[in-house]
Structure 1
Amino acid sequence: MNFQSPPPFSASGSQDQVAFHRTELNIILSLYGRMVAAGEWRDYGISSLRDVAVFSVFRRTAEHPLYRIEKRPKLRSKQGLYAVIGMDGQILKRGHDLKTVLRVLERKLIRSVE
């Protein structure tokens, strides 16, 4: 008999969640730290779901997120893996490179400093 171990992220297992990698979180948290220092953001939340990982940014804890940074692997070959979504649900920027997508939020930081 040939016994094979199941793949580490099989579709039948409970590990089939999308999550941010450490390098992605470093990029996001770097921006988050600068926005907190500028007084723009105050809290965040991270969700890892089946089809999407979400980093939500809040001005206050008990409100809807100002922005959502989403990672959707199924869109990797189409519009792009990453997206920044505003409070109203509008997609502000979508793309394949996280740093490029986050530039839409960095522009807001530059405006708040001036």
Structure 2
Amino acid sequence: MTSARAQVADSQRDAAITTTIGKLPQPAPKTFFDRRELAEILAVYGRKVASGEWRDYAIDDGRDKAVFSVFRRASEFPLYRIEKNPRLMRKQAGYAVVAATGLILKRGSDLRRVLGVLDTRLRVISP
């Protein structure tokens, strides 16, 4: 009889654990770059690698934004960060290019235009 009671108590305890686990909040979905966005970013990245300016990259995903960081060397801090923030998409500024200093170089809703800031070439201006 005692073993039957122990089995009933064990099954009730297991049911309580199952119920508790079922009520845990679900983690918020993460933000990622989609295939089209990655193709546009990697096109710019490929040109910069071919010219010898960039050598490495990292992709980070989070609940509030996705970040594509570019590096001159793997051991350094990122030269630029290309950020996607879905909360700002409604405000026409979902993408941003951020310099190493934290300065936002360009922000907008069209990724190709935002990435254009990375393709600008410096010109010598004579006095």
Mapping 1:25-104, distance limit 5 Å? 25-104=38-117
**1:34 maps to amino acid:** R
Write 1 or 2 for the structure with the bigger share of helix. Answer: 2
State percent identity of aligned pairs.
Answer: 56
Q: TM-score, normalised by structure 1?
A: 0.82
Q: TM-score, normalised by structure 2?
A: 0.74
**2:53 maps to amino acid:** E
Gaps of at least 5 residues in structure 2 are 1-24
Moved more, 52-61 or 70-79: 70-79
Instruction: Kindly report the root-mean-square deviation, in angstroms, between the aligned alpha carbons of the 2 structures.
Output: 1.6
Gaps of at least 5 residues in structure 1 are 1-11
How far residue 14 of structure 1 moved from its aligned partner, in angstroms, is: 3.9
Q: Name the count of aligned residue pairs.
A: 99
- Deviation string, structure 1 residues 22-45 (Cα, Å, up to 9, x no partner): 000000000000000000000000
SS in 1 for 2:90: coil
How far residue 78 of structure 1 moved from its aligned partner, in angstroms, is: 2.0
**1:75 maps to amino acid:** L
Moved >4 Å (runs of 4+) = none
2: CA distance, partners of 1:21 / 1:96: 15
Higher relative contact order (Cα pairs below 8 Å, separated by 6+ residues): 1
How far residue 13 of structure 1 moved from its aligned partner, in angstroms, is: 3.4
